[in-house]
């Protein structure tokens, strides 16, 4: 949680100041008022233990989607059966196997005992419960349909989990082939090519250009492998540091959408996620501008998030959804047509769910054929390696045979 510096007054009117830990400034103000302090000013501050908190969050794994799906399903069943909320949370906390989720649920249960609402208690744990999760529960609490909100969240996370599994399955074969190519290059440069180099040196023949290139590459790899490893690790750390910046993350996310072969798949998957999330929020009764903001955050793509936040600002300024969607330049014609028709008929959520289902089928087909599209590229890489090795090794051997015959 973040640390906030506050200034305020006690109930007797005396001034007071200090620090308070909370997820947001609103929750910090609520916590202070519960202690009898009327906050006058709240600013984000820092604490001496901030480094420890950052390191802890760095090495703490995220809660798996499978765990969230099971939690939502169990909460839905208990709420649907009429079991009191506090009793349900205590039972789920005792039976929870995930350590991070269990700690969060224990804290949520304590907050419920103190009179805080479920969504407000979960909002204090943003690493476990996303803003989308909290907003859905808040709408469910306010409308008296908490069980429906939990069921919608369970279906949403199940769909997201299925998409991730399909992507991992499709990328398994290319990853396997590329790993073996890298391993083969390592063995060739360290063990095979140096043997041929010593043989060619004993015969003293003139080496052709491909052979000299192979020998030079192998010698550099053998003599400077430590430097190469350090450069690779340094480049990876530099790339990760650049990607952590706002500008770097946005450029990288934009590049992901335009990558050869897989860029179109990523783009369709993002459109399906946006359509499903936006429809889910609208169907639950979340205001339009808040639905856009939460859908943008759920995409986990800073480039698309920035465009969607620009859409939100344009809509708040009086623009229509369809016109702002066209001006954003990130939506396909299908999404724009569905938004336009839904805006006229008042059925945006239903039509966007159809768009999400359509793109899910498209992504499923693309992932099934992804291996077939990547195979020619891998074959070209392997064929190029074989050609270079053949030219580099057999050309000087022919020269040696000519020298023996001559």
Beta bridge mates, 19: 5
Distances in Å between the Cα of 210 and the Cα atoms of 109, 196, 215, 221, 388 are: 70, 13, 9, 17, 7
Q: Answer whether CATH 1.20.81.30 is correct for domain 65-158.
A: yes
2-59 shares its CATH topology with 65-158: no
| CATH 1.20.81.30 correct for 263-363 | yes
Which CATH class name applies to 2-59?
alpha beta
Digits of tens for pLDDT over the chain (406 positions)? Answer: 567 788 887 777 777 777 777 666 776 777 777 677 788 888 876 544 444 444 454 455 678 888 999 999 999 999 988 888 889 888 888 888 888 889 889 998 988 888 888 888 888 888 888 877 887 788 788 778 888 888 888 888 888 888 788 878 877 888 888 888 888 878 887 777 787 777 777 766 677 777 888 888 888 888 888 888 899 999 999 998 888 888 888 898 889 888 887 788 888 888 888 888 888 878 877 788 888 887 887 777 888 888 888 888 888 888 888 888 888 888 888 888 888 888 888 888 888 888 888 888 888 888 778 777 788 888 888 888 888 777 777 777 776 666 666 5
- Domains of the chain by residue range: 2-59, 65-158, 263-363
């Amino acid at each position: 949680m973040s640390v906030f510096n506050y200034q305020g007054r006690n109930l007797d009117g005396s001034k007071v100041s200090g620090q308070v830990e909370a997820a947001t400034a609103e929750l910090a103000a609520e916590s202070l008022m519960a202690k009898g302090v009327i906050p006058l000013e709240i600013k984000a501050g820092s604490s001496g233990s901030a480094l420890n908190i950052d390191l802890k969050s760095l090495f703490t794994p995220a809660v798996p989607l499978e765990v969230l799906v099971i939690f939502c399903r169990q909460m839905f069943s208990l709420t649907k059966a009429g079991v009191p909320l506090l009793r349900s949370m205590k039972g789920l906390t005792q039976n929870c196997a995930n350590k991070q989720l269990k700690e969060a649920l224990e804290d949520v249960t304590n907050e419920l005992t103190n009179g805080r609402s479920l969504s407000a208690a979960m909002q204090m744990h943003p690493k476990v419960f996303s803003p989308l999760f909290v907003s859905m529960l808040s709408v469910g609490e306010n409308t008296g349909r908490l069980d429906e909100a939990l069921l919608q969240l369970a279906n949403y996370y199940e769909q997201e989990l299925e998409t991730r599994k399909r992507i991992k399955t499709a990328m398994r074969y290319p990853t396997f082939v590329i790993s073996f190519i890298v391993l083969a290059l390592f063995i060739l440069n360290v063990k095979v090519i140096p043997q041929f180099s010593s043989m060619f040196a004993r015969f003293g023949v003139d080496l052709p250009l491909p052979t000299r290139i192979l020998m030079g590459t192998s010698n550099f790899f053998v003599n400077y492998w430590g430097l190469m490893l350090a450069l690779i690790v340094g480049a990876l750390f530099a790339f990760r540091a650049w990607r952590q910046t706002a500008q770097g993350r946005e450029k990288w996310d934009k590049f992901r959408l335009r990558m050869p072969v897989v860029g179109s798949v990523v783009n369709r998957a993002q459109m399906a996620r946006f359509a499903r999330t936006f429809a889910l929020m609208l169907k639950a009764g979340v205001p339009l501008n808040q639905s856009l903001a939460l859908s943008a955050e759920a995409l986990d793509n800073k480039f698309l998030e920035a465009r969607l936040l620009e859409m939100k600002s344009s809509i708040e300024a009086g623009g229509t959804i369809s016109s702002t969607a066209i001006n954003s330049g990130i939506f396909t014609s299908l999404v724009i047509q569905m938004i336009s028709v839904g805006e006229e008929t008042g059925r945006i959520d239903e039509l966007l769910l159809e768009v999400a289902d359509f793109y899910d089928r498209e992504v499923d087909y693309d992932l099934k054929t992804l291996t077939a599209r990547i195979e020619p590229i891998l074959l070209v890489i392997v064929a190029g390696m074989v050609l270079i090795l053949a030219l580099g090794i057999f050309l000087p051997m022919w020269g040696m045979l000519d020298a023996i015959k001559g």
